[in-house]
Structure 1
Amino acid sequence: MTRSALHDRAAPSLAPAYRFPQPEDSPGMTNPLNEVRFTRRDMLVAGGASAAGAAAGGLVPAPVQAMTGGAPRPEQVSTAAVSFEVNGKPVTLELDTRTTLLDALREHLKLTGTKKGCDHGQCGACTAIVDGRRINTCLTFAVMHEGAKITTIEGLGQPGALHPMQAAFVRHDGYQCGYCTPGQICSAVAVLEEIGQGIPSHVSADLNARMQVTDAELRERMSGNICRCGAYSNIIEAITEVAGEGA
């Protein structure tokens, strides 16, 4: 006997049959369905067939249409003008108000040196310097920076006129695939500015003393910039060299 046949034989004993009202319950009453028996398996099969039929017949979207009042309305896009200075040049853009600063730089201004990595503010590849502070440009809207002064990797230096940090990264091989390098360099430049201004980090031992450029300080401050190739030691060497030159 097959497994299916065994299951069909066992089903009636596992699930009690539904009992229709009997004549003795109401004198004079008769019901032609008294001999019909429904098991739990029968009900599940019937329910599945009903659901499949409703979906095939296009009945499922009806409640959705009723709740939304018919066909979906076209999306209303809100735009706004924003003006800021990018790498020393004034720029005015008309943007969807949901446009991130990262997308404004990459898609509208074609400054593709700033990279889109995780798009969640977790890798640092999109780091740029805004009003002297490094930020993750994927986490902020462009319209929030009216009048700001923005510096991207293109604004730090160009081939033939490299920024000292860019040149140090080349000398110390502070990159491998290079995808994170623009964010690493922008962050490194801002880190040295932070230390010079006496802004402490979580590992600063004495908040009243002059901030020192140490391996621990640099590793802590650069921890938001991820290098998946693992060139961290070379990056620290490059930053340390630039810090020594500026001392």
Structure 2
Amino acid sequence: MQISTIGFDADDTLWHNERVFALTQAHFTQAMAEYIPQDAQGPDHLAERLIAAERRNISHYGFGVKGFTLSMIETAIEVSEGRVPASVLAEILAAGREMLSHPVDLLPHARATIEALSGQYRLVLITKGDLIDQERKLAQSGLGDLFDAVEIVSDKTPEIYTRAFERHGSGASNGLMAGNSLKSDVIPMIEAGGWGVHIPHDLTWALEHAPAPLNHPRFAQLPDLSTLPALIQQLARDGT
């Protein structure tokens, strides 16, 4: 069972993403400072309310900047009990627009790793989020021409991986998915029958956390992307 197709996550696997969200959330916290009730626990309370809103809204707005921006607005209104002025809401909207034009900053080893594997395997970018924003980031990354296919999906599930690796390869059992999210990139790929390779990032969204399947024979964790080609070569030698 040789690996024929390699899937890559995009955000926080090939380029930085979560740090942009963290900077925007810090700006949001500052803008809301005087509208948080005195009996609340300050920024921590606001952060908890925001992540709760994001969790509620995923099924409505999906993943990405637009859903995050709407969740900030909802949180601002709820936490302030409707007192937040239109000027602050306008500031939140402006911060969201700025996120949608933020420059793409590749992670170390991203280009070198993709170039090393290109031509030897079918490479598929599998990412979730807003279609227009993800297309923008891929175009600005300069990596687009190195991929054989791109899948921008509403969520990442075993069924999504099954279909994607059948469409762009010889099935998930002959596929490998590399990404920073255990919840989205690793566990559902393993459940689809393929390899899930975890490439940790210093910043990972709270809703992407999950226990690592440490004892599963098709799980691996690497310190960074630079060691992925060597892992794939080892799997080929082992006939995995």
One fold, TM greater than 0.5?
no
Given the two structures, how large is their TM-score scaled by the length of structure 1? 0.20
Which structure has the bigger radius of gyration?
1
* Greater helix content: 2
Given the two structures, how large is their TM-score scaled by the length of structure 2? 0.20
* Greater length-normalized contact order (CA 8 Å, ≥ 6 residues apart): 2
